[in-house]
Each structure stands twice: as C-alpha cells, then as structure tokens.
Amino acid sequence: MIASTRDRMQLGLLLGPATVFLAVFFLIPLAIMVVTSFLAPGLYGGVEWEFYPHNFGRIFGFADPAFEEFDPVYLEIFLRSVRIAVLTVIATLLVCYPAAFCISMMPGKWKSFCLFLIALPFFTSLIVRLFVWVLILRQSGPVNGVLLALGLIDQPLDLIYTEGAIILGMVYIFIPFMFMPIYASVEKLDWSLIRASQDLGAGPIRTFVRVILPLTAPGIIGGSLIVFIPALGNFIVPAILGGAKVMMLGNLIEQQFLSARNWPFGSALAMMVMSVMLVTMMGFVFVSGRRRSSMASLSGGQRGAQ
Amino acid sequence: MQDAIVELAGARKVFASPEGGEVKALDNIYLDVRRNEFLTLLGPSGCGKTTLLQSIGGFVRLDAGTISIDGADMTRVPPHLRPVNTVFQNYALFPHMSVEQNVGYALEVRGIPARERREKVGAALVMVGLGGMEKRRPNQLSGGQQQRVALARAIVARPKLLLLDEPLSALDRGLRHSMQIELKNLQNELGISFVFVTHDKEEALTMSDRIAVLKHGRIQQIAAPREIYDRPANPFVASFIGVSNMFEGSIDSGSLVMDRGETLQLGRTLQDCKGRATAVIRPEQFSLSFEQDTRAGIDVTIDQVIFVGAGFELYARTRGGRELVVSAPASARDDVARAESDRRARLIYVPANIHLMPGEGGSQ
Ligand SMILES: Nc1ncnc2c1ncn2[C@@H]1O[C@H](COP(=O)(O)OP(=O)(O)O)[C@@H](O)[C@H]1O
Ligand SMILES: [Mg+2]
C-alpha cells in the first residue's frame, strides 16, 4: 500500500500536534530522567556530568565503595511496594467482582443509584478522605474504642502506620478504578450463555470457570492494570497511613528529590518503578493481543475463502 | 403412563407484570410427552410457550404442580442435573470457544476423554451437515450454520429429550423449510423426543406428531396435526391454525341459525345438539356451483379471485354481508371463470362434514 504524497501530508498534519505534545511533555522528560539516573549526584544537590552506574548499585548491591555500603533497605522497599500493589489488586478484585454482579442484576433505578454511590468519593478531596482513616484507625479512634469497651483488648492496637493500614487505604481509593472495567464486562455478559452451560450439564463451579470467567476476563485484566500501576508508585497513601515507618517507592522517590536532593538516585528509583510497570503492561498486552490476533487471523482466513 | 418421557401435572406459573398485575404464564397445565415423539407447542407470542419449555428444562420454577422426566420426579431438580438439552432461541453459542469446544462442552462436563470426545463431536457435526468446521469460532459462521452448531451441541450427549425454542424463527424462508425437514429426519434418526416451540402454524403442521395449542397459559387442544386441522376444539384453535370460515349461531331443529337470519344445514349426527355453537367450513370444503343447484349451499357474490398456482382463492360475501374464503382446485377452472364473470356463485357444502364447536367467537 503506497500512500500518495498528499495523503502522507494530511496524515502528518493530523498526527503532528499529538506527536509534538508527546515529545515535549513525555519523551524529553523521560530522556532527562534516563540520563540523570546515570549521572553522579553533586555534593549539595545538582549533578556531576560523569557516568556513574552506582545509583542502580545502591539498589542492587554494587554501591559506590567510596561513598557508602550496600543497604538492602531499598530492595525491601521495592519488594514491599510490589507486594502492597499486588495485594491491593487482589483485594479490590475480591470486592468489586461480586459487587459488579450484584449491581448489574439490580432493577434499573437501583443500578444507577449504586453506580452514583461508587463515583461519589471523587467529589471530595483524596487527602481529606485519607485523613479520616487516620482518625478512625488511631489509638484513640473509634475502632480501638469499641474493642476496648467490649473488653476484647487491654491496650489500644497499633492499627495505623502499618502495611495493613496502607493496603486498606489503597483498596479504599482504588475500588472505583477496579469496579468500572469489571462492571462494563459484567454488564455485557450474555446470561443465556450461563443457561446454556447449565443446560449442557455444567454445575455452578464449572459454569463459572469455563463461561463466566473467560467472558469477564477483559474487565478483570483492565481493572488490574489500572489499579496495579498507580498503586505501585503511589505515595499519598503511605505518606498518610504509613507514616515514616512503612515506606513505599513513591515516598522514597519523593524523599530523594525533595529532601535528600539526590536527583540521580531518585531518577534511578523512578526508572525501576517504570520498568516494572512497562513489563506488566507488555505482559498483559501480549496476552490479550495473542487472544485477539488468533481470532483475527482466523476470521481473515475465512473472508479470504469466501 | 408407561410411554411418557415427560409428565407435567397441574403446572402453574404466575409472573408479576410490569403494570403491577399478574400474568398467568402457565395455568394448570397437564401434558405428556411420549417417547420418540415430535411434539410442538404452538401459540401466539406471550402465550407461555417459552415458560413451558423452560420449566421442563429447569430454568423456570413452577409455583404449583409437578414434572417428571423418564419416571423420575424433577420438580425441584436444577437444570444441570436434568437429562434434557435445549436449543435456545438465540442459539447461545459460547463466543470464546471454537465450534469443536462448543459442541464438545456437554461431553467435557461429563468427563469424556478428549479422543472419544473428538470423534463424537465430529459425528454430531457431520449429522447436522457441518463436517470440517471444528476450528471456527461462532462469529465466523452464518446464522444457519450457528443454528446447526447449537443443534449439534444439544444432541451430542444424547439427551432423553431435546427442547427447541423457536429455533428456525431467525432463518430466511428457504433455509427454514429445508431445516424443518432436516429436523424431522434428525428426530427419526436419533429416536429421542423433541419438544418444539413455534408460533408458525405451517411449521407446526408440517413437522409434528402432535401439536399442543396454547393460549394465555392454557392448553387449548392437544392432538395430531390433522385432527387439530379438521376438528379444532374451539374457535381460537380453528382461527389460529388456518384460514377458516366460521359461523356463529344457535342450533335449531337440525340447522344453525345465525344472527343475520342465515342458516346452515347440519349433518344427522349433530341434529340433537342444542344451544350456541360455532361451525367451521374450511375453504377447500366448499365446492363452486351456481344458482340452479338444489344441494345445501350458500349464495354469495364474488369480490375477488386470486390465482395461487395450485388453484384459486375466491373471496366471497353472503347476502348478510359475511365474508368467506373459498379455495378451488385448478381443475375447476371453468367454474371459477364463470363465477368471476357473473360475480356470483353458490357454495355447496356437505352438511355431514361441518365441524361444530361449542361457544362463540372466531377472533383470537
Ligand atoms: N421472567 C419473567 N418475568 C415476568 N413476566 C414474564 C417472564 N417470563 C415470561 N413472562 C410473561 O409470561 C408470559 C408468557 O411468556 P413466554 O413464555 O415467554 O411466552 P411465549 O414464549 O409464548 O412468547 C408473557 O406474558 C410474558 O410477558
Ligand atoms: Mg418465546
């Protein structure tokens, strides 16, 4: 297929603005970050223009011996971040999947009301909502108050500034993001297929595994991606509910840029977050792309045959 | 009953209508499906055909009554444990599975090993004329092919009973006709009972061993096609099953006296009947004649004559203004020509052949 010069010019004009925008606001900052991550930190902030792989070394164990010793704390923070993000995905999935079915089965009026409720949190500030959790979970908060009053505990529990508190906060803020794609795929589900499965002798479990799950998989995959990626780099939730005790990658990066003024190390950390996200994304794209392309090639073959 | 595969007794199902009232979808249904029988449920839209079918399949829970399949009580048994398979109205093929996986699903569920499964799937596909399409996806098939896959999927595990909910309604006319014949052949070949739902009377008459005519959740009549056609139980069945000339009136000393003063002579067997009744004379039961004929007949004026290939259809009107339809064979060409030019004729009927039904009203 050879496009005429005219077509190519039109295409260029149409794509131009988007290309320029992406180049200026995405690719150039990205390039700056990549370059910075391989430069040496200046003594009082800023960078030294020399090749310096030890930023990554501080994370993976080949730290600059002149400066400091290897500290596994960064790997710990990295693994904790991945763990928290994965658990957040699982927990939101467990909440949203059944909820999507319940809501999609409701009569019309109730359905729109529930969807409105799910969108409602967006009307208030995220920070305010997270601070409310601080009030709820702190030692003098209502949860400890009730447990103490019931005599179930003698001492107030440390509920806040734990990994659990972070996951709770994450689940709380990411539920709408998980819910929407799942709900969209559940709404599209053709119930007569479930009947057909039962009719052919499949019990509830097999019907779920062989029919309901595959047909709602696009929603599950989409929701998981949309939650995992921002959860991994999130720094507001750990900043408020994790305090100084439980840190995630997002806080670490923020700290490096704003407090420690070590931009190269911050860039290296940001690169790591980004590469995990990219790998995850590409994995999903590959999986769903293979599903789609196998179907597309078949239908293409049929069209050719007719 | 020994030779019944399905027995429904006193089945009732009431739905709440959106307007706040109640809809009796099934109203005290007693129905036996015999072994190796092609039974058709026929009725207008909304009469409860789907509900009846789905209560056999297990998707509708009866409010009252019992259902047994092959001698076992199935009233409270969930669908996946019933020895029954369904061809759904919209086919309901699994879009994420190939044709082979769709058809093999019932076998997979039963734990049949892959090799045996492939053989049976292949055989079922050949049976419905789709050999070699195993690897396709449902969205790569035409409507007729999807229909056949749905059929193959429902018969592959040899159910004791096959339920079909208007399976042919989405197909175009020619394909529908050939599928009717194929379905009937398939049923003979498999030797299992089919319960077939349709609102198309010709389809019902062509294919069925017996037809159950439904209206408002009640069975109006259940009988063989010819019986239903020749001796409808009531005016609703008569009008639903085909074009009919119906005459309402009261019986008086051997004739039916209609409201406009016209009379019909009745056969000797009907002489002793009393009260209000509706008589049926099929269009082909009239023969065309002219005024001087002294046999029992009705004088009419001819409104219109239509050539339909195998014969003629005449639209006639009595003196009292009643509209009648008459069909005349091609051999009566000369009489038809005369009636058309005279614009009048005498319709001869045989009093003994008149079918009389109690009650009134020929409209649905
Ligand atoms: N799930 C349901 N809820 C409410 N009413 C229903 C439901 N299913 C069927 N009906 C009503 O029951 C009657 C019979 O329906 P159905 O069996 O689908 O008729 P058919 O298949 O003969 O067209 C209709 O009046 C229909 O509106
Ligand atoms: Mg129906």
Give pLDDT tens digits for A178-191.
999 999 999 999 99
Mutation to test the B interface, candidates A199, A208, A297, most B Cβ within 10 Å: A199
Query: Bigger pLDDT: B142 or B275?
Result: B142
- The 10s digit of each residue's pLDDT in B88-115 is 988 999 999 999 999 999 999 999 999 9
pLDDT at A296: 47
pLDDT at A305: 34
pLDDT at A299: 41
CA distance B318 to A15: 78
pLDDT at B360: 63
From B14, B19, B23, the mutation candidate for ligand 1 (largest count of ligand atoms within 8 A of CB) is: B23
Per-residue pLDDT band for A285 (boundaries 50, 70, 90) equals confident
CA distance B232 to B215: 14
**Cα B25 to ligand 1 centre (Å):** 6
Q: Record the tokens describing residue A231, joined without a space.
A: 């959860």
Which atom of ligand 1 lies at the shortest distance from residue B49's CA? Answer: 22
**Cα B200 to ligand 1 centre (Å):** 18
From B12, B13, B14, B15, the mutation candidate for ligand 1 (largest count of ligand atoms within 8 A of CB) is: B15
Kindly state if the Cβ of B50 falls inside 6 Å of ligand 1. Answer: yes
- The 10s digit of each residue's pLDDT in A115-149 is 999 989 888 899 999 999 999 999 888 999 999 99
Mean pLDDT of B264-284: 82
Which residues on A lie below 8 Å from B58 (Cβ)? 198
pLDDT at A303: 36
Task: Tell me how crowded residue A6 is: count the other CB atoms within 10 A of its CB.
Answer: 8
Q: How far is CA B154 from the centre of its chain?
A: 22
The residue nearest atom 12 of ligand 1, judged by CA position, is B25
Q: How far is CA B5 from the centre of its chain?
A: 20
Query: Bigger pLDDT: A236 or B359?
Result: A236
Q: Which residue of B has its CA nearest to A204?
A: B80
Mean pLDDT of A143-164: 90
The structure tokens 């794509």 sit at: A15
Per-residue pLDDT band for A12 (boundaries 50, 70, 90) equals confident
Residue in B364, B358, B345 with CA at minimum distance from that of residue B256: B358
The answer on pLDDT for A55 being more than 50 is yes
pLDDT at B265: 87
Which residues on A lie below 8 Å from B96 (Cβ)? 214-215
Nearby residues for ligand 2 (ion, Cβ within 5 Å): B 50
B 145-164 residues inside an 8 A Cβ radius of A: 153-154, 157
pLDDT at B8: 96
From B50, B53, B90, B163, the mutation candidate for ligand 1 (largest count of ligand atoms within 8 A of CB) is: B50
Mean pLDDT of A27-34: 92
E-only strand ranges, chain A: 39-41, 47-51
Which residues on B lie below 8 Å from A207 (Cβ)? 80
Residue in A12, A17, A212 with CA at minimum distance from that of residue A100: A212
Kindly state if the Cβ of B13 falls inside 6 Å of ligand 1. Answer: no
Does B133 contact chain A (CB < 8 Å)?
A: no
Per-residue pLDDT band for A301 (boundaries 50, 70, 90) equals very low
Length of chain A: 306
Does B329 contact chain A (CB < 8 Å)?
A: no
**Cα B347 to ligand 1 centre (Å):** 43
- Which domains, and CATH codes, for chain A? 1-37 (no CATH), 76-270 (1.10.3720.10)
pLDDT at A137: 92
Taking the CA atoms of A196, A197, A199 and A205 in sequence, report the sign of the dihedral they define.
Answer: negative
ipTM of the assembly? 0.83
Residue in B235, B184, B174, B232 with CA at minimum distance from that of residue B207: B184
Which residues on A lie below 8 Å from B166 (Cβ)? none
At B224, the amino acid letter reads A
Kindly state if the Cβ of B15 falls inside 6 Å of ligand 1. Answer: yes
The answer on pLDDT for B167 being more than 50 is yes
- Using a pLDDT cut of 90, give the percent of chain B over it: 67
- Mean pLDDT, all residues of chain A: 88
- Look up the pTM and report it: 0.82
The partner residue sitting opposite A193, judged by closest CB among B92, B136, B137, is B92
Does the beta-carbon distance from A200 to B59 stay under 8 Å? no
CA end-to-end span of chain A, whole Å?
Answer: 23
- Mean pLDDT, all residues of chain B: 90
How does DSSP classify residue A161?
A: S
Which residues on A lie below 8 Å from B140 (Cβ)? 298-299, 302
The answer on pLDDT for A82 being more than 70 is yes
- The 10s digit of each residue's pLDDT in B52-86 is 999 999 999 999 999 999 999 999 999 999 999 99
**Cα B50 to ligand 2 centre (Å):** 4
The answer to whether A118 and A175 have CB atoms below 8 angstroms apart is yes
Kindly state if the Cβ of B315 falls inside 6 Å of ligand 1. Answer: no
**Cα A113 to ligand 2 centre (Å):** 32
Element (H or E) spanning A305, and its range? helix A263-305
Does B287 contact chain A (CB < 8 Å)?
A: no
Taking the CA atoms of B215, B220, B225 and B231 in sequence, report the sign of the dihedral they define.
Answer: negative
**Cα B197 to ligand 1 centre (Å):** 14
Does the beta-carbon distance from B110 to A201 stay under 8 Å? yes
Does the beta-carbon distance from A195 to B79 stay under 8 Å? yes
Q: Which residue of B has its CA nearest to A201?
A: B80
The answer on pLDDT for A291 being more than 70 is no
Instruction: Give the residues across from B280 on adjacent strands.
Output: B246, B355
Does the beta-carbon distance from B88 to A196 stay under 8 Å? yes
Alpha helices in A150-262, H assignment, sequence order: 163-188, 191-199, 204-207, 213-233, 236-237, 249-258
CA distance A147 to A153: 6
The answer on pLDDT for A294 being more than 80 is no
pLDDT at A3: 56
Q: Quick one: which ligand is closest to B167's CA?
A: 2
From B29, B47, B53, the mutation candidate for ligand 1 (largest count of ligand atoms within 8 A of CB) is: B47
pLDDT at A196: 96
- The 10s digit of each residue's pLDDT in B123-155 is 999 988 888 889 999 999 998 899 999 999 999
